[in-house]
Amino acid sequence: WNLVLVFTIGPLAAGYFRIMTTGTALSRRRAIPHFLPAILILLYLLPDYLQNAELKRQRLDQLIHSGLIAHRWIMLPGIMHLSAYLALSLYSVRHVLNRHALKTEATVRYLLFFAVYGFVINAIGVYAMFALSRKLAVITYGGIALLIPLIYLVRRRHPELMLHLGQVSRREKYRRSQLGGHDGDGLANRLTDLMETEQIYLTEDLTLAQLAAALQITPHQLSELFNDHLKTNFAGYINGFRVRHACRMLIAHPKQTVLTVAYDSGFQSRSTFHSAFTRETGMSPIRYRKNHLKPGPD
């Protein structure tokens, strides 16, 4: 059963940390593949489990006399499997593994303890398999078997710690997403000033990188500003200003053609202009001009 347990604990631990940090679990359909190795090992060992007591003793004697050679090629992949899932669990909460969180959050310290505990036990297991040490193998099996009960006991004694992990995760994500130290509201104001004062959106081949350079931030930080703070994207934001400019042009210069207004507003083609204009205003440029122009005197 120890071999089955080794292949089971990894997916269970990864799923547990997922629930604690995101509040959601994998669907059954997506979770089952993670347990396929454990199921295959169970099927492989099932004939041994179903044998009578005498045959089980004989099988155990064979294992004892052959050292750990007989099953180390199953145990080693099992340890690697568990290590991979521990690493996956740590990767999913990597944003909380920093000096600030370790100093201020007991939850993160417990998380790091369990991760280090798991990796140490796995390292002992790998050494035990190559050194063919029964004592170290027993320590490995026991250590792995204790991992889930230890997590359970900590959760029972300090339920707020594990529940708090999701809050810590969200808080650290927010703290680390402050645009590389830039204030999001301040950047948004600077961006608005670029649009309204310098009318940078009129540059028809304007790119995200060029706009980021004008703000003295990276393109990634500008994308984060659009996505997380302004709830839009680069094209939508720029086209919004261009459409509003076109609206003013259509009224102020009624003799200009729609195509001229489109180009003067920063658009590179009539189709792009028409699509963006209709999406923003709910009507075509021609209809907009007709609806807003005051009729001339008879």
Name which of 115, 102, 234, 92 is nearest 166 in CA terms: 92
> What phi and psi values does residue 112 have, to the nearest 5 degrees?
-65, -35
Mean predicted lDDT score pLDDT of the chain: 81
Type of residue at 69: I
What digits encode the pLDDT tens for the residues 248-284? 999 999 999 999 999 999 999 999 999 999 999 999 9
E strands, the chain, are none
Q: What is the pTM of this model?
A: 0.47
Structure token pair of residue 182: 């830039």
Domains detected in the chain? 2-176 (no CATH), 179-292 (1.10.10.60)
- Reported as a single tens digit per residue, the pLDDT across 96-112 is 677 777 777 777 788 78
pLDDT of 66: 55
Q: According to the model, what pLDDT value does residue 256 have?
A: 93
Side chain identity at residue 240, one-letter code: G
Q: Which has more confidence, 202 or 181?
A: 202
Task: Give the rounded percent of residues in the chain with a pLDDT score beyond 70.
Answer: 80
Res 296: pLDDT = 52
The whole-angstrom distance between residue 136's C-alpha and the CA centroid of its chain comes to 37
Judged against a pLDDT cut of 70, whether residue 179 lies above it is answered with no
Asked if pLDDT for residue 164 goes beyond 70, the answer is no
Long-range contacts of 104-109 (CB under 8 A, 24+ apart): 105/164, 105/168, 106/158, 106/161, 107/161, 107/162, 107/164, 107/165, 107/168, 108/168
Cα three-residue angle 189-195-200, rounded to 5 degrees: 135
For 133-152, the pLDDT digits (tens) are: 778 878 887 887 787 788 77
Handedness of CA 246, 247, 253, 256 (dihedral sign): positive
Give residue 228's pLDDT band: very low, low, confident or very high (50, 70, 90). Answer: confident
